[in-house]
Amino acid sequence: MFTRIPRALKLWLPVVLWAGFIFALSSIPSLSSGLGFWDLILRKLAHTCEYALLSALLMRALARAWPALAIAVAYAASDELHQHFVRGRVGSPWDIAIDAAGATVGLIVFAHRQQLVAKLKPGKN
């Protein structure tokens, strides 16, 4: 009745969907909430969160931190290049740095979560 979902699809589909979501957001021309200084803060926090989740999903798929971080940062760079061609948007090396920081945070949170889960498993003391 139910077919089993292949492991590769379970691991990589969330990565592809999230990367597509980031791409879609980057395609919106002149993205601004009109909140002035708070708009800047909110957008930078969004960058951080987007790439924290991307790197955690990559870590889940790859099970290796450095490649996950490298792919997340490479995607951030390609995203900023993409924004260079979107009306009203500007690609920024600072945003790549913010994205890289977010990706690093995502990997740290993922690692801590994995350690916590391992400690809480029955029979582990």
Write down the pTM of the prediction.
0.88
CA distances from 101 to 55, 85, 96, 120 (A): 10, 24, 9, 29
Model confidence pLDDT, tens digit, residues 24-33: 999 988 777 7
> Where do the domains of the chain lie?
38-125
Distance between CA 94 and CA 88 in Å, rounded?
17
pLDDT at 94 over 90: yes
| DSSP string for 11-56 | HHHHHHHHHHHHHHHHTSTT---S-THHHHHHHHHHHHHHHHHHHH
27-86 pLDDT, tens per residue?
988 777 778 888 888 889 999 999 999 999 999 999 999 999 999 999 999 999 999 999
